[in-house]
């Protein structure tokens, strides 16, 4: 998955969430009709709608800046809820689910892993070397792109979910049924992306080892 396509998907996802937040702040049900109506009657809803639009735009900008500027290790920490050694590569040679192939040849080829008592940092160093050597493998290239994209989409969804809760808490007069419909959307996408990104990250870690062992897709 090339970077241009990833960025396009990220921008589209961010835009859709921005529209949802915009409509929620206006206390309108989500949908194309509501969006068109709000734009058509913009002058009538001013100046409140101007403030709402500015807030939604600020959240969208913050979300994009977060995924662009935040280092990968912090993204992994937010995804795996680990302060240190969050990336699956830190524990790829010991523990976790059975990858479906033997890792013993790699452990023999890299004795520093065993000699360090499976130190997470050493495991990660070896995994990164193997990744660099096999980055263009069919097993790795597609999974690596999906991992980066899903992790970024997850972070964007978290930003909007937090902002949604903040907006809801500041305006408890929003009809409950309306708020719950937005909560369903924001919550469902965040949970889906959370599990998808975690699973893809673990698959990437294992695919790198598989590629290093010469296993074909």
| Domain ranges (residues) in the chain | 3-212
Share above pLDDT 70 across residues of the chain, in percent, rounded to a whole number: 98
CA distances from 105 to 102, 108, 111, 127 (A): 7, 5, 10, 14
User: What value does the mean pLDDT take over residues 128-152?
Assistant: 92
Per the CB < 8 A criterion, the answer to whether 59 and 159 are in contact is: yes
Quick one: tokens of 22? 């915009």
Looking at residue 190, its pLDDT comes to: 97
pLDDT in tens, 161-190: 999 999 998 877 789 999 999 999 999 999
Per the CB < 8 A criterion, the answer to whether 192 and 77 are in contact is: no
């Amino acid at each position: 998955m090339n970077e241009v396509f990833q960025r396009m998907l990220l921008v589209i996802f961010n835009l859709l969430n921005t529209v949802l937040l915009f409509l929620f702040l206006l206390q309108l049900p989500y949908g194309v009709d509501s969006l068109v109506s709000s734009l058509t009657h913009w002058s009538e809803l001013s100046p409140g709608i101007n403030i709402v639009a500015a807030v939604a735009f600020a959240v969208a900008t913050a979300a994009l800046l977060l995924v662009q500027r935040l280092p990968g290790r912090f993204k992994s920490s937010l995804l795996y809820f680990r302060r240190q050694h969050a990336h699956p590569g830190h524990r790829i040679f010991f523990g976790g689910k059975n990858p479906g192939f033997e890792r013993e040849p790699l452990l023999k080829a890299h004795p520093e892993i065993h000699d360090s008592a499976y130190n997470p940092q050493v495991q990660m160093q070896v995994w990164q070397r193997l990744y660099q050597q096999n980055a263009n493998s069919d097993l790795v290239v597609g999974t690596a792109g999906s991992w980066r994209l899903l992790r970024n989409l997850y972070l964007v969804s978290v930003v909007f979910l937090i902002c949604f809760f903040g907006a809801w808490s500041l305006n408890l007069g929003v009809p409950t049924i309306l708020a719950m419909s937005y909560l369903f959307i924001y919550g469902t996408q965040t949970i889906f992306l959370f599990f998808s990104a975690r699973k893809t990250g673990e698959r990437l870690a294992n695919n790198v080892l598989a590629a290093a062992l010469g296993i074909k897709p």
